[in-house]
């Protein structure tokens, strides 16, 4: 049985949606950020990075969203969540997901976690002030060059879609209006209609009760 450690509203939602799409049996456990549980001794034994998502498998723990998403797709080939049999297409999917992980998510983190990169409060403010621009730059690239449509990779839905969904979901909190990016905004609305997305959001909500 797989166990996903997650926190509502965080990037772990992409992995939660992918698990819901996959049909794999899994358990989901909330890590309570408000209480700093991600830095607790017990959680650091699961993920020494002190972050979610972390996916516990029978072989060990997987961290980093692109790795978790690729693993879920590979473990559930019938769900067709990745082009597993085409090396170029698979690398293209990984390229998109790694861009989100290394750049888009990091842009966003500069607004909330600037303390990771500097000690000077003025530097924190400067990093925060830059977030709308860096998010806009990334979404312009996605909208104009990376998003094939109707799904991220084209005709076939893949694990890139929940990942983009989460980033689009964050835009208002980064002071960016998602409607500036019509393809991403329409994709976000279409994602909300998927039963797997609704189940993942319901799980997040239930975990807060």
Ligand X SMILES: N[C@@H](CCC(=O)N[C@@H](CS)C(=O)NCC(=O)O)C(=O)O
Residues forming the site for ligand X (CB under 6 A): 10-11, 38, 50-53, 64-65, 101, 105, 113
Annotate 147-166 with DSSP letters as a single string. --SSBTTBSS--THHHHHHH
* Contact (CB, 8 A) for 41 and 51: no
Q: Quick one: 53 or 162, whose CB is closer to ligand X?
A: 53
Q: Quick one: 48 or 182, whose CB is closer to ligand X?
A: 48
Nearest-approach distance from CB 183 to ligand X, in angstroms: 23
Nearest-approach distance from CB 63 to ligand X, in angstroms: 6
Nearest residue to 161 (alpha-carbon basis) of 81, 89, 74, 75: 81
Tokens read off for 2: 């797989």
* Contact (CB, 8 A) for 117 and 157: no
Nearest-approach distance from CB 4 to ligand X, in angstroms: 12
Element of type H or E holding 54: strand 54-56
Q: Quick one: 53 or 178, whose CB is closer to ligand X?
A: 53
Q: Quick one: 41 or 85, whose CB is closer to ligand X?
A: 41
Asked whether the CA dihedral 131, 137, 140, 146 is positive or negative, the reply is: negative
Nearest residue to 17 (alpha-carbon basis) of 138, 167, 153: 167
* Contact (CB, 8 A) for 28 and 16: yes
In this structure, the number of other CB atoms found within 10 A of the CB of residue 132 comes to 16
Nearest-approach distance from CB 201 to ligand X, in angstroms: 16
Element of type H or E holding 202: helix 195-207
Q: Quick one: 50 or 150, whose CB is closer to ligand X?
A: 50
Nearest-approach distance from CB 112 to ligand X, in angstroms: 8
Nearest-approach distance from CB 78 to ligand X, in angstroms: 25
Q: Quick one: 169 or 186, whose CB is closer to ligand X?
A: 169
């Amino acid at each position: 049985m797989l166990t996903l450690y997650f926190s509502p509203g965080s990037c772990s939602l992409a992995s939660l949606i992918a698990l819901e799409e996959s049909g794999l049996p899994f358990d989901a456990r909330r890590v309570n950020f408000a209480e700093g549980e991600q830095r607790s001794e017990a959680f650091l034994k699961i993920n020494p990075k002190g972050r979610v998502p972390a996916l516990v498998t029978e072989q060990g723990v997987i961290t980093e969203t692109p790795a978790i998403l690729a693993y879920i797709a590979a473990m559930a080939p019938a769900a067709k969540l990745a082009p597993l049999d085409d090396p170029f297409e698979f690398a293209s999917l990984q390229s998109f997901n790694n861009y989100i992980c290394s750049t888009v998510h990091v842009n966003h983190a500069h607004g909330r976690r600037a303390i990771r990169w500097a000690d000077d409060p003025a530097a924190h403010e400067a990093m925060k002030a830059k977030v709308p621009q860096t998010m806009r730059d990334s979404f312009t690239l996605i909208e104009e060059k990376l998003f094939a449509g109707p799904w991220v990779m084209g005709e076939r839905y893949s694990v890139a879609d929940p990942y983009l969904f989460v980033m689009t979901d964050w835009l208002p909190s980064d002071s960016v209006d998602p409607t500036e990016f019509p393809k991403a905004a329409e994709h976000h609305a279409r994602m909300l209609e998927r039963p797997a997305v609704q189940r993942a959001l319901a799980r997040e909500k239930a975990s807060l009760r």
